[in-house]
Amino acid sequence: MHKYLEKIKNDRLPLVKYDLFEDIPFVVHGFTTRLGGVSKGIYSSLNLSYTRGDEEECVRQNYQRIADYIGYDIKNFVASDQTHTTNIRIVSKADCGKGIIRQKDYKDIDGLMTNEPGIVLFTYYADCVPLFFVDKVKKVIAVSHSGWRGTVEKMGKKTVEKMCQVYGSDKKDIICAIGPSICQDCYEVSKDLLDEFEKNFSPEQIEEIFQKSNEREDKYQLDLWKANEIILEEAGILSENIENRRICTCCNKEILFSHRGMEGKRGNLAAFIGLRQQT
């Protein structure tokens, strides 16, 4: 088990957090684990997906546990609608509760962004890469889902660009974190995936993020962490403003849901971020 997970696993609600964000007093954030909820069976216990077959009331109670733990009203939670796009929604108070306690009126949204205090943004995972963003000067937050498709299309860069475009963020003020996701050793992919990456990454970058599989001639090991670090630095984020605890969902499937590690029989984890209400 990853040493960080070992440290937090006995907390009332174990959450992966990032030191760079913990130093920003107006931000609440976390990445959930499987622990601390009420769901049963393959969804045990903090499943946050309404769409994988879990009981709706259990999922609702799981969200309520997060709300109680972080001191927010569940009515102010907002969910993405992930379909492996690079679409990012600007969230306002009018969106509060959508996808959590009321219906969404949007679709194909893999990133959420806001500068309004009191809203908590949620995106979902079981091997794909969570990306957290905070502009500590303009007080803007975002969270984006970047699986292999999102990584090929450079979701991290698009999120940074949108923060700059909509809110006037300065890239040097943006803090980022790469959340728990599948590691290179666990992520074997085929040649056609390599071909997709070669369209948007240089040969030197491809060498950094792909290794030939030791097991099978026609397979490769893909490093999504390194790919997203490259994307964020290309987008203008300072290397010292990027944090990655390098926690693999697949290696730690007793604590984290992993689609590959659990052969699809699983619930969903969540990355969340919010701006605290000003007092």
Domain that holds residue 256: 3-183+241-275
Are 108 and 80 in contact by the 8 Å Cβ rule? The answer is: no
Q: Distance between CA 148 and CA 201 in Å, rounded?
A: 13
Q: Distance between CA 201 and CA 196 in Å, rounded?
A: 9
- Is 82 part of a structural domain of the chain? yes
Structural domains in the chain (count): 1
- Is 226 part of a structural domain of the chain? no
Whether 279 has a pLDDT exceeding 70, the answer reads no
The total of other beta-carbon atoms located within 10 Å of residue 52's CB is 18
Whether 190 has a pLDDT exceeding 60, the answer reads yes
Strand 120-125, strand 77-79: pairing: parallel
Portion of the chain with pLDDT greater than 90, in percent: 97
Task: Tell me what pLDDT residue 94 has.
Answer: 98
Q: Name the least confident of 89-103, 205-219, 243-257.
A: 205-219
Q: Distance between CA 158 and CA 118 in Å, rounded?
A: 24
The amino acid that residue 212 corresponds to is K
Sorted by sequence, the CB contacts under 8 Å of residue 111 that are 6+ apart come out as 80, 86, 87, 88, 89, 123, 142, 143, 144, 145, 155, 158, 159, 162
- Is 23 part of a structural domain of the chain? yes
CATH of the domain at 154: 3.60.140.10
Whether 147 has a pLDDT exceeding 70, the answer reads yes
Burial class (CB in 10 A: 0-12, 13-18, 19+), 120: buried
- Is 248 part of a structural domain of the chain? yes
Phi, psi of 213 (to 5 degrees): -65, 140
Closest CA to 9 of 28, 31, 36: 36
- Is 143 part of a structural domain of the chain? yes
- Is 206 part of a structural domain of the chain? no
Q: Give the model's confidence band at 110: pLDDT under 50 very low, under 70 low, under 90 confident, else very high.
A: very high
Closest CA to 20 of 183, 145, 119, 136: 136
- Is 128 part of a structural domain of the chain? yes
Please tell me the pTM assigned to this model.
0.98
- Is 211 part of a structural domain of the chain? no
Q: Distance between CA 172 and CA 250 in Å, rounded?
A: 33
Phi, psi of 63 (to 5 degrees): -65, -40
Q: Give the model's confidence band at 215: pLDDT under 50 very low, under 70 low, under 90 confident, else very high.
A: confident
